[in-house]
Structure 1
Amino acid sequence: MQEMLYSFISFICVFVSNLLHALRTALESMQDPTGYEFMEELSSRNLAVKQLKEHFVQALKANNAAEVLKILHTGNLDIDTVLEVDDPSMVLASYKQGYWLPGYKLEKSWAMAIHVCVMYNAVETALVLLQKGAAINRMPNGKTPLHVACEVSNSDCVALLLAHGAKVNCLSLSGHAPLHYCIARESVDCAKQLILKGAKINMTSNNNEEDTPLHTAARFGVPELVALFLAHGASVNAVNILQETPLMTAVFWSFDSKEQTYSQDHHIVCRLLLDHQADPNMKEEDHKTALHKAAWNCDHVLMHMLLEAGADPRAMDINGCAPIQYLLKVTDLRPLAIPELCYQLLLNYNAARIYPPQFHKLLQSCHDYPRVVEIVVNSYEHLKPTKKWRAALPDECYQVRLAGTWLDPLGIDSTRYWKHSSEMLAHIDMIGSHSCCRFIVFTSMMPISCSTTCSKNLSEIAEVYDIILVDVAIRIWVHCNGKGMDMVSNNKVGCCYNAEFVQRGQSVPRKSPPHHCTTTTSLNC
């Protein structure tokens, strides 16, 4: 035991002695003048190499082939040297999904000379580099030169790279083929060359999206690319990992939620896909169809297109919601939409109506859209008001529109409010005497002092001007000729209310249901 202890102590002593000797040697070398000279020489050499690389990058950007050759002939720089290049848009970079990236924006990327030439359209210099043996399929920052050429829509460089053996189906670090990087109108020529060289038109990305090039073109809304891919055999109903078809992708991305605008290019893409027999009733992993997505965007153009193509207006998602319920959720969130057309389309195509006891939810969502309420109300033969109707309308509605007009499609002043019921009746009489109109007057929120008089006076002139009274809230609803106009098909939809006073608790009768409401099925909200 003592021998082991002595051996351990001896080892420690030797180790400490050697460490002290090494430190003394290092200190002596630092005090030696020749050491300082070596460090200075190394620093100046690194500085010269850095300056040479910067000069090389500038010559590549300027497409100065002569200067590039001159630098390479010095032998101080290899033709495949990796350079640090300004790349704020990350054109040169591709990262595998799941990799950690810093929170700040990366301003520089790694690239070889051939990548820089492609990025800056230096075709002559790129040809010189390829003739000198530059590597054509390397990925210093996740992309080959061919990926970069497709992303910047440089068809000349694409042709040059393909002629020198670039791999047409090579995947970037993020799992995308060159065809996936064709995402603009200007890249159509690039896509044509790739397809002619054998690019796989239905190749899915090797990541957690598994999109085909058709999905990518549909997402970015490029009709020319979509038409090209379809003409060369792209699968119109291909699904990605979320079970989304290109049609679903185009429908979803047709609406810019930030700018609140709709893309006509995406509409054209959807038309192309439907013309090539895209199935509008396919469901993604949450059982949503393309019609659900169009309803969520409140896009009446796409809804009309899909319904004409056979989309099922009663299809339910995984939560049991139909497209009309998606509309209810976003009606007040789409200021540039025309929601009444969306509701009318669904009802015209036999969508299930809202369950009458849940009708207050429609008033809650659409109290600022009386045309929507009008169209939905017209889909019922009888609709019994409940106390929830009044509670569904926010208090500010009563304060802002106290005894005022709710809707005036004839262009008559719809922002006028009245302090007294007599003024309101005078306005009704004025409109009724100059046009053929219908009014629905909600009276329960009027002051008690004038409610009786108002009801009595209105009931007296009800049959003259075809007025319907509903005991819910203070609204005047001008309804031109008692008919709604179907702006999609340009056909008039009947709105046959009876001209009679409706007492508290009674339903609003109709003479006959319109042609789009023959069903008696209702949808529970």
Structure 2
Amino acid sequence: MSHGSFVFTPEALRSLQLDKDMLERQKYEKQLASHRLSGYMLKKEARDRYRGRVRSGAAPPPVVCRDLVIENALYTGDLEAMRSLFPRGSKGSLVIEPHGGDMRWAATGDGLWSLTYEQELTTPLHITAGRGFAECLRLLLLRGADVDLAPGGSTALHEACESCQPECAKLLLTHGANANAVSEEGLMPLHVCTSPESLECAKYLLQYGAAINGRSTDEDDTPLHVVGRNGLPEHVELYLRYGAAVDKQNGEGLTPLNAACSQPQELQELERYFKVCKLLVDAGACVCTTDQDKRTPLHMACKNANADVVELLLANGACVNDMDYGGEAPMHNILKVVCYKISHQPERVVRYLLNHGSIRVWPGALPMVLKHCCSSPRTMEVLLNAYSKLKVTDSWVEAVPPEIFKENREFYESLFSLAQTPRSLQHLARCRLRIYLEGRINKVVPKLDLPTFIKNYLLLEFRGFVH
């Protein structure tokens, strides 16, 4: 053996893997620290922007307004009152200090603190743009209002986009608003387009030069991360047409596909998130990229029990048995949420995983799984039909509450009867063929010259009982 070499025992290989994982974690921590530092500097820059402009003489200081008459006209969109309050030759750049607000402790000097109202400064442009008062906004812009003034930390363009007011957003942009202005929170206007109604705003921003791959400060998100996380397929399609990068990772190591798969999804949102993932995958997004915890999009889709996304990822090469840092495969993730996601049809997820060669539950742990998943008999049917034999004992019966047994009597009676009888010859033949086709079942079975009902049987179709 040459000098400096060593035997590659399993222990040595495991040690090398642990060292590699540790180095990767350290790299992510350094990146995150860098993002936080740059975030702090960017927020400081945003806070000082207005003061710097005034000191340098780049813009005259706006007037601070506490006039309730002006505020009332702005907040109600009273155009006639605005015309009288802002005649030709008047200044449109005002800073509004709203009355009221939330109470907070603030330092008053000499080590003293007082409980005061937290005031967030705003401008007439912010008020009218955020409420969709386009004609009032136009009047203020014609009176020379500073289109990028941000005394509260964000511009009027941020306000218009966040409130989904496309006409106001277009007005601001045509009057020179910066489409890439960064707010105190480190967000560009594209980052605040987070709802379906904001699509037109996003279109205008891109037409006026918004950076399609601009990063947010705290999370290091691109606009594609934001719309993926919010399940907005039309936005995703738009951003991809403008050249959005599909595999950029944010501060947590998430790509837009990871972000879409990891977002909690209600039943009515499943289809939207599937469309988003389909667009990203079709655009070339990698289905195997892992985050800091080594979780793939498949791990996350299983955790959210989105069966259509799981099928999509598996069909495009997702690794069914990849382990995250906690040593859990996608199958672990779906089984942990079955009882909370019954309406999401978790049995479909389990079926897709098994048909693509997923690891199975250790037989000794099946009673525990039954106790946790008994409210979804279909899930238990698919899971148990992946075994050629089952050792059904009294602990299995005790794992199913009486009310669940009563609701699903036919299935659980067929399951508990296996304590006295072996599995059927038909089932044993199915298991043997599935073992032979391990990992290829989903590709091979549909091509076999067999009746459809036999193909479905081999693919663990639901029947409502076990035998």
Given the two structures, how large is their TM-score scaled by the length of structure 2?
0.69
> Which residue among 291, 300, 312 is the counterpart of 1:293?
300
Instruction: Please show how residues 305-320 of structure 1 align to structure 2 within 5 Å.
Output: 305-320=312-327
1:272-324 Cα offsets, whole Å, 9 max, x none, are 11111111111111111111111111221221121112211111111111011
Distance change >3 Å, CA 407–CA 372, structure 1 → 2: farther
Once the two structures are TM-superposed, the CA of residue 118 in structure 1 deviates from its matched residue by 0.9
1:467-507 Cα offsets, whole Å, 9 max, x none, are x627xxxxxxxxxxxxxxxxxxxxxxxxx7239xxxxxxxx
Distance change >3 Å, CA 336–CA 138, structure 1 → 2: same
Q: What's the RMSD between the two structures over aligned residues?
A: 3.4
Number of the residue aligned with 1:391: 395
Query: One-letter code of the match for 2:286?
Result: D
The reply on whether 1:81 has 2:33 as its aligned counterpart is no
Once the two structures are TM-superposed, the CA of residue 518 in structure 1 deviates from its matched residue by 3.7
1:172-192 Cα offsets, whole Å, 9 max, x none, are 010000111122233222212
The reply on whether 1:329 has 2:336 as its aligned counterpart is yes
Measure the CA separation in 1 of the matches of 2:181 and 2:404. Answer: 64
Number of the residue aligned with 1:120: 131
The reply on whether 1:203 has 2:214 as its aligned counterpart is yes
Number of the residue aligned with 1:13: none
Secondary structure of the residue that 1:379 maps to in structure 2? Answer: coil
Query: One-letter code of the match for 1:184?
Result: S
Q: Is the 8 A contact 2:92 2:141 kept in 1?
A: no
Instruction: Please show how residues 470-509 of structure 1 align to structure 2 within 5 Å.
Output: 497-498=424-425
Secondary structure of the residue that 1:347 maps to in structure 2? Answer: helix
Once the two structures are TM-superposed, the CA of residue 114 in structure 1 deviates from its matched residue by 1.5
The reply on whether 1:356 has 2:366 as its aligned counterpart is no
> Which residue among 48, 65, 69 is the counterpart of 1:55?
69
Choose 282-291 or 299-308, whichever is displaced more: 299-308
Instruction: Please show how residues 94-105 of structure 1 align to structure 2 within 5 Å.
Output: none
1:223-246 Cα offsets, whole Å, 9 max, x none, are 111100001100111111111111
1:450-480 Cα offsets, whole Å, 9 max, x none, are xxxxxxxxxxxxxxxxxx627xxxxxxxxxx
Measure the CA separation in 2 of the matches of 1:127 and 1:406. Answer: 65
Once the two structures are TM-superposed, the CA of residue 86 in structure 1 deviates from its matched residue by 7.8
In structure 1, stretches of 5+ residues that fail to align are 1-48, 90-105, 415-423, 425-438, 445-467, 471-495, 500-508
Q: Is the 8 A contact 2:65 2:95 kept in 1?
A: no
> Which residue among 166, 181, 188 is the counterpart of 2:192?
181
Measure the CA separation in 2 of the matches of 1:56 and 1:164. Answer: 23
Measure the CA separation in 1 of the matches of 2:305 and 2:258. Answer: 15
Once the two structures are TM-superposed, the CA of residue 169 in structure 1 deviates from its matched residue by 0.8
> Which residue among 513, 518, 522 is the counterpart of 2:431?
513
The reply on whether 1:164 has 2:91 as its aligned counterpart is no
Number of the residue aligned with 1:436: none
Q: Is the 8 A contact 1:123 1:156 kept in 2?
A: yes
Number of the residue aligned with 2:256: 246
Distance change >3 Å, CA 189–CA 514, structure 1 → 2: farther
Once the two structures are TM-superposed, the CA of residue 85 in structure 1 deviates from its matched residue by 4.2
Measure the CA separation in 1 of the matches of 2:339 and 2:407. Answer: 20
The reply on whether 1:214 has 2:224 as its aligned counterpart is yes
Distance change >3 Å, CA 380–CA 263, structure 1 → 2: closer
Q: Is the 8 A contact 2:66 2:97 kept in 1?
A: no
Once the two structures are TM-superposed, the CA of residue 251 in structure 1 deviates from its matched residue by 1.9
Once the two structures are TM-superposed, the CA of residue 83 in structure 1 deviates from its matched residue by 1.4
Measure the CA separation in 1 of the matches of 2:331 and 2:257. Answer: 20
Number of the residue aligned with 2:240: 230
Query: One-letter code of the match for 1:129?
Result: L
Query: One-letter code of the match for 1:59?
Result: A
Secondary structure of the residue that 1:354 maps to in structure 2? Answer: coil
Secondary structure of the residue that 1:57 maps to in structure 2? Answer: helix
Identity fraction in percent: 29
> Which residue among 259, 268, 277 is the counterpart of 2:275?
268
Higher Rg of the two aligned structures: 1
1:122-145 Cα offsets, whole Å, 9 max, x none, are 222222222222111111111101
Given the two structures, how large is their TM-score scaled by the length of structure 1?
0.62
Distance change >3 Å, CA 74–CA 261, structure 1 → 2: closer
In structure 2, stretches of 5+ residues that fail to align are 1-62, 103-116, 440-467
Distance change >3 Å, CA 51–CA 213, structure 1 → 2: closer
> Which residue among 364, 372, 380 is the counterpart of 1:365?
372
Number of the residue aligned with 1:504: none
Distance change >3 Å, CA 151–CA 376, structure 1 → 2: same
Q: Is the 8 A contact 1:379 1:517 kept in 2?
A: no
Secondary structure of the residue that 1:320 maps to in structure 2? Answer: coil
Q: Is the 8 A contact 1:380 1:517 kept in 2?
A: no
The reply on whether 1:342 has 2:317 as its aligned counterpart is no
> Which residue among 249, 255, 259 is the counterpart of 2:265?
255
The reply on whether 1:469 has 2:421 as its aligned counterpart is yes
Q: Is the 8 A contact 1:347 1:517 kept in 2?
A: no
Measure the CA separation in 2 of the matches of 1:406 and 1:341. Answer: 18
Q: Is the 8 A contact 2:65 2:94 kept in 1?
A: no
Secondary structure of the residue that 1:188 maps to in structure 2? Answer: helix
Measure the CA separation in 2 of the matches of 1:64 and 1:497. Answer: 79
Distance change >3 Å, CA 337–CA 138, structure 1 → 2: same
Once the two structures are TM-superposed, the CA of residue 266 in structure 1 deviates from its matched residue by 1.6
Measure the CA separation in 2 of the matches of 1:141 and 1:401. Answer: 56
1:417-464 Cα offsets, whole Å, 9 max, x none, are xxxxxxx9xxxxxxxxxxxxxx444387xxxxxxxxxxxxxxxxxxxx
